[in-house]
């Protein structure tokens, strides 16, 4: 079994611009720059043959390259169950189409449909019982976040490995977008 997801990597310079925002929430597990990404489709634990079928379906995606901009900040969860803070992604029709193509590829590999509403974001920290006022203050301090626009000319299939320091991601395969 291998734990997989598809995602767009955040360019190093855009990632560097997010690092100064990583403070102000007690107990937050801030993510390293190299872990920053925009998930397109969480796959989960799959057998190697399913991963191969998924790879084949992902290779068939025909989508154009496009530009993205990070904008705003948010969180997942409620009250003491807030479990992540993130940088948002400006609304993008090409991103939505690419995400839907990834969902279709997952279904072609006979994976269950994703039930959650797609919210494109870059996770900056994972939280466990974070003080709600600190999360609110962090959101207020970062809600005007806006990155430089950056080109998206590929997406990747990543594996996720649990370590004592948190999840580590490895790029398994890249899929170019049409220029």
Residues with a catalytic annotation lie at 37, 121
Name, in order, each residue with C-beta under 8 angstroms of 166's C-beta and a sequence gap of 6 or more. 29, 31, 126
User: Distances in Å between the alpha carbon of 167 and those of 28, 34, 109?
Assistant: 14, 11, 25
With b for 16 or more beta-carbon neighbours within 10 A and e for fewer, the 40-61 pattern comes to: bbebeebeeebbebbbebbeeb
């Amino acid at each position: 079994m291998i734990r997989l997801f598809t995602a767009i990597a955040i360019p190093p310079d855009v990632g560097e611009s997010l690092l100064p925002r990583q403070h102000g929430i007690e107990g937050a597990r801030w993510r390293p720059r190299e872990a920053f990404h925009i998930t397109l489709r969480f796959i989960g634990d799959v057998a190697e043959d399913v991963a191969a079928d998924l790879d084949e379906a992902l290779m068939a995606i025909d989508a154009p390259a496009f530009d993205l901009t990070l904008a705003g900040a948010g969180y997942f969860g409620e009250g003491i169950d807030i479990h992540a803070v993130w940088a948002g992604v400006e609304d993008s029709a090409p991103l939505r189409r690419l995400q839907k193509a990834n969902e279709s590829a997952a279904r072609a590999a006979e994976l269950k449909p994703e039930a959650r509403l797609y919210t494109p974001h870059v996770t900056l920290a994972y939280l466990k019982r974070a003080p709600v006022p600190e999360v609110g203050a962090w959101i207020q301090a970062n809600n005007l976040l806006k990155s430089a626009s950056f080109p998206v000319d590929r997406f990747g299939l990543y594996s996720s490995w649990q370590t004592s320091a948190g999840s580590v991601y490895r790029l398994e395969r890249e899929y170019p977008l049409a220029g």
